[in-house]
Chain A
Amino acid sequence: MNKTPMVEADRVSKNFGSNQVLKGISLTVQRGEVMCLVGPSGSGKSTFLRCINHLERVDAGRLRVDGTLVGYREKGDKLHELHPKEAALQRRDIGMVFQRFNLFPHMTALENVVEAPMRVKKNQKAAAITRARELLASVGLADKADSYPAHLSGGQQQRVAIARALAMDPKLMLFDEPTSALDPELVGDVLDVMKKLALDGMTMIVVTHEMGFAREVADSLVFMDGGVVVESGVPRELLANPQHERTKAFLSKVL
């Protein structure tokens, strides 16, 4: 079995102008591991996820996915920026799910799911459709294949979005507050799909405020604040016995 960690962040830093948003994030996500990332709003969680699939460029430090440097090529001791084509090639192995779903509103659920496999991977239409139907069935939406996103509930939209990301057969899935925009009664369905995915061995990084999910599903929990990792550990222990004041203060608000 391959021992290379799936994600290896070494002092990853990111600035927006003079605003240093990530101040040296170091963490490792092993294959098959589920990591939950929590922290107050503005602590840089989304920015970190976006760095992982190069939607944002890392300014300092090294970020590797599956052993490969993200966004740059290393030649000797110099880093070269990647061509957009190479960056796209890196991204297609990394699935991303957004807080606001970002489904393509002019396409049906099925069309949303087959779009990237057909356009990016150039898969055959028939094969792509068969696979998309399987995926929609696996998120419990077999009967919604021909619905447009606007006719689906938020929870259904988010599950289509998960199916869309899975259609590219990613080796890593990133979730940015996937349930934060949902009505409370719809959250469970989405978390169930994610749990099933975790049990199937998918490597996942999940930014969430759902501590129940973190406790039950995650292998590790990382608490971020102000662009640094304040504390990390096994979810059960960290939640029961936080060491830092900032962690305690945050947990007392969300638990």
Chain B
Amino acid sequence: MARGSVPPIGTDYTVQAIRAVRLRHPIRNIIAAIIIVFIAAFIYDAALRPAFGWPTVAKYLFDRRIAEAAFNTLQLTVYSMAIAIVLGLLLAVMRLSPNPVFMSISWVYLWVFRGTPVYVQLTFWGLLAVIYPTIDLGLPFVHPFISISTDQALNVFQLAVIGLALNEAAYIAEIVRAGILSVDRGQEEASTALGMSWFQTMRRVIIPQSMRVIIPPVGNEVISMLKTTSLVTAVPYSFDLFTRSRDISAETFTPIPLFLVASIWYLLFTSILMVGQYFLEKRFARGVGDVRPDRVTTKGANAETGEIETVVRSTDRPKEGGL
């Protein structure tokens, strides 16, 4: 057909649907086959290897003490993570707030809690009762209204949760901050122009949009926390999954099967968490998840014509707000 021409009127345009021969991937298939053979060999070998002590694994997998410990680990993870997320969100918002007092508090917090190892922090929390024997409520230099002994107020489990949560909050804060900064500045501008307060803007507009960026790394942190709970022995709290498995193995002299038992439980929890993360990510992809990339306009990708403002409006704006 000639270049730049169109078939004459009346041409039959009906065509058959394409039925092409599927592209084959011989190398890919061979590599997969080799790997499967290796894995099968490893599993077969592992199943028969006495060092793994499978009968012992089976015996302890649903042992009451192990199940209890697994539940404790789960509780440590859930409680400390819940506190960490709330506190982290607060710290991130404070860090970005126009209020310099909040900003500095958040900065110092992060400096301290990210700058020292969790293990050391957990040890300190364990020594809380030594450093502060009583918790006093009252005014400075006046006899306290209420004074309770620290030992009575907080048990080791609670201290472990506090220790894990306060450390984690610092990391969550940075994740949330990155998420908030990833939201287009135009969004804040539009909500401010509508008369929304700084706080409303954060809660209704900025934070929901930042969730897409925040959830994957926070999911990562939850899984990481599940495993960090094994450090609570520093407090010392010894009823978590890892410490309990170690303690049992010290009695039975079968460390390998017991660590296998612990690993299976950790894997089970991690798998559940991954499913949860999948659904959360879907929920927060609303409005953008299923759209062709060239049609997403929040970042001005669709503004191909006309001059596009590239001014970075970050300095010298009216400072406003505060919590």
Contacts and interface: CB of A to CB of B under 8 A. Distances in A.
B106 interface: no
A220 B116 CA distance: 64
A40 B193 CA distance: 25
B309 A46 contact: yes
B209 interface: yes
A169 to B, nearest CB: 11
B298 interface: yes
A171 to B, nearest CB: 13
6 contacts: A41-B307, A88-B195, A98-B189, A116-B195, A119-B196, A148-B286
A255 to B, nearest CB: 17
Size bracket, chain A contacts: 35 or more
A56 B307 CA distance: 21
Nearest to B291: A150
Given A56-B318, A98-B190, A184 B305 contact: yes
B113 interface: no
A28 interface: no
Given A107-B287, A150-B297, A179-B306, 18 more contacts: A17-B315, A55-B193, A55-B318, A89-B195, A91-B193, A96-B193, A99-B308, A101-B297, A105-B287, A116-B194, A119-B200, A149-B297, A150-B291, A181-B302, A181-B303, A181-B308, A183-B304, A183-B305
A107 B194 CA distance: 15
Interface string A74-116: 0000000000110111011011101111111111100000011
B314 to A, nearest CB: 11
A106 B193 contact: no
Contacts of B309: 46, 99-100
A84 B322 contact: yes
Nearest to A53: B193
A120 to B, nearest CB: 5
Interface string B268-300: 000000000000000010111001000111101
A92 B315 CA distance: 24
Contacts of A103: 190, 297
A71 B318 CA distance: 9
Contact of A55 (B189, B198, B302): B189
B12 interface: no
A227 to B, nearest CB: 15
B308 A54 contact: no
Interface in B170-215: 184, 186-187, 189-198, 200, 204-205, 208-209
Nearest to B199: A84
Nearest to A14: B316
Nearest to B195: A92
Contacts, number: 139
A57 interface: yes
A166 to B, nearest CB: 11
A116 B302 contact: no
A26 interface: no
Nearest to B200: A119
Interface of B: 184, 186-187, 189-198, 200, 204-205, 208-209, 284, 286-288, 291, 295-298, 300, 302-309, 315-318, 320-322
A84 B317 CA distance: 13
B187 A84 contact: no
A94 B321 CA distance: 19
A182 B193 contact: no
Given A56-B317, A84-B198, A116-B195, A105 B305 contact: no
Nearest to A151: B291
Interface in A112-144: 115-116, 119-120
A181 B300 contact: yes
Nearest to B295: A150
B300 to A, nearest CB: 5
Contacts of B186: 98, 100, 102
A105 B209 contact: yes
Given A104-B205, A168-B195, A99 B306 contact: yes
Given A84-B321, A100-B186, A182-B305, A148 B195 contact: no
A136 B34 CA distance: 61
A103 B286 CA distance: 14
B297 A157 contact: yes
A165 B303 contact: no
Contact of A180 (B196, B307, B321, B322): B307
A159 interface: no
A154 B302 contact: yes
A9 B238 CA distance: 71
Contacts of A219: none
A31 interface: no
A56 B319 CA distance: 9
A104 B187 contact: yes
A158 B8 CA distance: 41
Nearest to A115: B204
A53 B320 CA distance: 14
